[in-house]
Amino acid sequence: MTKSQLNSVIHAPNRLKICAFLTPLQEAEFQVLRDELGVSDSVLSKHLKQLEAAGYVAFRKGAVSGRQRMWAGLTKSGRKAFSGHVEELTRIAGVLDTRPTT
Amino acid sequence: MMNDVDNLSPEEAKEALASVVNMESAGWRRAVPDRWFGAVVAVLIASLFALYALEDPYPYIVFPILGLATFIAIAREKSGAYGQDFPSSKTNVWAIIFFAAVMLVVFFGSIYIRRAFDAAWVSLVAGLLVGLMVFLASEGERRAYLIKTGQGESN
């Protein structure tokens, strides 16, 4: 076991997945995020609100064909925090980070 | 995956990293622009250049500009997800600056030649050239996205 500098907000599995999915993107629609994560609306809302409270995610409301849609995207501090978290995971795992850059 | 931030084993970290890689790949797949998107943008930009073949293009140039802005806004809203507006790597930023500089040179160069020699065909050729450049650039971007999702070699 290793004492780490991991980010406790990002570390929860679903929040880690949300941040990872949003990393290559500018924004993603709520329904797209829900489908990719395979979680319910309420679970996704809960995690997004926690990320928003930490300043890692920002929301935007938009309309498509008259229907209201919510979009979420990582903020600059969210990208920085996620990057730091992944660096720490990489250090703990003792592997090289071979992910494509954005 | 465990949720104990202070006591994470290398195996748990590897598991978390695997989930990161999977979700990032899913994000890259969502960010891949459609081929028709690049084609429509190329045609609209080409038409902006080609309009200068007319004696008085100014009443019409608003149409491709408005069309481009409207098309991009609608395509984004319908996509469900889209890639980053500004690239984070310096190489990509320089590539965009170079591309924009070439476009400006072709734009003002073609207008100058068209007026100096009354050669309307220059604007049409400039439109064709720029349209081709934009389409090839969008195809290049598409390929780069596909490589990041691990589908690049098969497409």
Indicate the domain borders of chain B.
10-148
Q: What is the pLDDT of residues B12-26, one digit of tens each?
A: 999 999 999 999 999
pLDDT of residue B149: 78
Confidence of residue B1 (pLDDT cuts 50, 70, 90): very low
The pLDDT of residue B88 is: 66
CB B14 within 8 A of CB A95: yes
In this predicted structure, what is the pLDDT of residue B154? Answer: 43
| Closest Cβ opposite residue B20 in set A2, A4, A86 | A86
Higher pLDDT, A14 or A95: A14
Asked if residue A100 has pLDDT above 70, the reply is no
pLDDT band, residue B40 (cuts 50/70/90): very high
The answer to whether B44 and B120 are in contact (CB under 8 A) is no
Please report the number of interchain residue pairs, chain A to chain B, with beta-carbon separation below 8 angstroms.
119
Closest CA to A21 of A40, A43, A48, A41: A48
pLDDT in tens, B85-117: 766 677 778 888 999 999 999 999 999 999 999
Q: Determine the residue among A92, A96, A97 to mutate to test chain B binding: the one whose Cβ has the most chain B Cβ atoms within 10 Å.
A: A92
pTM of the entire structure?
Answer: 0.80
CATH classification for the domain delimited by A8-93, as one of 3.20.20.70, 3.20.20.100, 3.40.50.2300, 1.10.10.10: 1.10.10.10
Q: Report the pLDDT value the prediction gives residue B2, as an integer from 0 to 100.
A: 43
Angle at A21 between CA B4 and CA B144, to 5 degrees: 135
